[in-house]
Structures are given as structure tokens and as C-alpha cells.
Amino acid sequence: MIIGVPKEIKDNEARVGVTPAGVKALGEASHTVLVETQAGALSGFPDAEYQHAGAEIAGDAGYVWGKSEMVVKVKEPIEPEYTYFREGLVLFTYLHLAPLPDLTNRLLETKVAGIAYETVRDRYGNLPLLMPMSEVAGRMSVQVGASYLEKERGGRGILLGGVPGVPPANVAILGGGVVGTNAARIALGFGAKTTLIDVNLNRLRELEDIFGGRLYTLASNSYNIAHVTREADLVIGGVLIPGATAPKLVTRAMVSHMKKGAVIVDVAIDQGGCVETARPTSHSNPSFTVDGVVHYCVTNMPGAVPHTSTLALTNSTFPYVLRIANLGARKALLQDAGFAEGLNTWDGKLTYRGVAESQHREWTPAASVIA
């Protein structure tokens, strides 16, 4: 198969869909990889590395899209890329179609097979191609929080781990899923006094087994949240109710009772945020202050560490890329019901219920179109 890897053109997107390691593995399986020039440069993979791994470097995005049977990307295509869609093309990337009716229409009109990273499920029902970005954001949240706690950045001038004779900072983590668990790992590593709150008691039991007595766990209710936020130097928001807007667990009143110079990193901001005073920010202007509390609410945190994020993402996506290349999309999807859940568009039909429901349109189950 000929596989194309275009350079991402969405604002501030530095990740790339396939690394040189992936190019080498595809070559070993007798596939051809076309990489647009500079596609991996911002992730730390120069053209020369791709070439060395066996890729053909192309100067023009149109050439990469036009020649390829499958295009592997990171972000959903944006308008200038729509012109490259054509029947027979397999597109494997984050698609996030629900709020994007125009992109959905174009994929359907052109009969592209659109397989979305965010809806692929593994055998346990998890979303394995979303998880790596939550791992990155969870770990990053503590690093970012530590930096904003420095005086120069508006924080109260406290070192997370303290030093001998000086107590460590208090870190409060809301949500003990992928983001929360990774945040807890790093906060404990820094030596901070770390408390994690979740509504799922079984998850708290698991976390206590993982971290032992070093992690304080608390059941989620407004009394406990008010208490820990008042004491906290750093609050990390990582709650998720799948498919819904995040619950506002930290109210404006709770923020007003927090210490001046404390920091909130609301990772859940991409789902609306779990802090009432949070609003989405970007890497170019990441923080703002409310009632003396610094808020960091960047919606695509992994974008700040594209090298790690590209490696984390492609570690998870690449086995699927190789399967599509080896078997063809239809057979690869037929063999794995969880992977078939990734199929959003096929031969002009919308095949993902969630997207259809949010756009109030018809859908056809993936299993029936690929059978």
C-alpha cells in the first residue's frame, strides 16, 4: 500500500502521524511511505531521518494526498485539505466530526473511508487512541503547575516538594482516571502532599493499591472539595463524564476561598472544565488570574511537548496503521469490532451513531457497510 504522511497545517499543531520508526516498519512489510517535507520537523524528526528510514520525501501536500491509498494524520482535516478527498482514500486521524458538519459532508460526498482515532475501542471498551494524550496532559499538569507556583509567574512562591525542614505543597487532584492517575504519579514524585478525589470508590481502592499510603484519597462531594481546595497550593481538574460537559465541581465561591497565588490547572477544559471560573486558553496566552488564583486552561496541552506526544500517539496508532496497510481497511475493520467502532464514514454513509445523533442525521452501522 502507498501511505501518505502530510504535514499538519492546523494552527500550532506540531505533531506528525507516522514517525521514522513507523516508516521503517512499513517498509519492512513492503509498503511505500510518502512524507511531506518538514512533516516531522517540529516533533524533532527531520526529513533526513525519514529518508534514512526509507520514506520518499515530497515537496507538495497535493502529491502526498493524491498518490496515497491511506493518509495518516493527527488532527481533523481543515478546509484547504478538503480538496484532496477522493473515493477510495482511507483517512486515519482524529476526526472529531460531531461539531463539524461541513467536514462530515465532504467526507460523505467524496466517499472517503474516515477512521477516527477518538472512537476506536480496545477489547476492554477503553479508548486506546485517546489515552496517550491524557497520559501526557496528566503528567504535564503537575510540571506546569509547579512552574506557575513560582513567584515570577504569579504563584505563591512555593516549591512542590519543599526541602528538609520546610513542608511540601498540597496538591489536590479531581478525578482519578488517566489524567488524574498520571498527575498523582508526578506530584508524588515531586514529593508533594497529594490528595485525589473521585466519585468512583472502586477506582479509589485501585489507586490506594497502586500508590499505597502515599496518596490520600477522598470521595467526591462538595464538602470534601471545598475543604481540599481551601488547603491546596495546586488544584488539577481531570474529571470526565463521557460524552457530557464536565461537572463544575469547584465553584466560584470555593475559588474565592483558595490561597492567593495558588494555581488551578483545569485539564478537563476541553469538556468545558470542572472549575466554574475556568475558560479555555491557548499556548500563546495560557493563563489568567481570578481572585488571586492563577488558572491554566489550555485545551491542547500535549501540543507543548510535540516530540513526546507524537511518540506517545504513534505508539498507540501505529499497530492499526500497519494492520490497515497489510490487510486493507475493510478486512482490518472486519477482524476487530473495537477497531470498526473507529469507522465514521464509508462509501458515502455515516457509520458512527454519536456523530449522527449530534448532527440529527441518518446513520448506518459500520458492521453492515463493511460486511
Ligand X SMILES: NC(=O)c1ccc[n+]([C@@H]2O[C@H](COP(=O)([O-])OP(=O)(O)OC[C@H]3O[C@@H](n4cnc5c(N)ncnc54)[C@H](O)[C@@H]3O)[C@@H](O)[C@H]2O)c1
| Cβ proximity to ligand X, 36 vs 198, nearer residue | 198
CB of 167 to ligand X, least distance (A): 26
| Cβ proximity to ligand X, 227 vs 330, nearer residue | 227
| CA dihedral sign of residues 264, 269, 275, 277 | positive
SS3 59: coil
Q: Give the footprint of ligand X on this chain (CB under 6 A).
A: 133-134, 137, 174-180, 197-200, 203, 220, 238-241, 246-247, 249, 267-271, 299-302
CB of 234 to ligand X, least distance (A): 16
360 is catalytic: no
148 to 43, 229, 263, 269, 295: CA distances (angstroms): 25, 17, 7, 18, 9
| Cβ proximity to ligand X, 171 vs 239, nearer residue | 239
Nearest residue to ligand X by CB is 177
Pair 263, 148: CB distance under 8 Å: yes
| Cβ proximity to ligand X, 197 vs 322, nearer residue | 197
**Alpha carbons within 13 A on the beta-carbon side of 276:** 9
Which of 76, 71, 74, 108 shows the shortest CA–CA distance to 356?
Answer: 108
Do the strands 343-346 and 113-116 form a parallel or antiparallel pair, or are they unpaired?
antiparallel
Residue carrying C-alpha cell 498518490? 67
CB of 164 to ligand X, least distance (A): 34
| Cβ proximity to ligand X, 299 vs 326, nearer residue | 299
CA distance 239 to 217: 15
CB of 290 to ligand X, least distance (A): 18
The cell numbers describing 140, all together, are 504535564
CB of 111 to ligand X, least distance (A): 30
Pick the catalytic residue from 122, 270, 291, 347: 270
SS3 3: strand
Do the strands 56-58 and 263-266 form a parallel or antiparallel pair, or are they unpaired?
unpaired
96 is catalytic: yes
Just list the catalytic residues: 96, 270
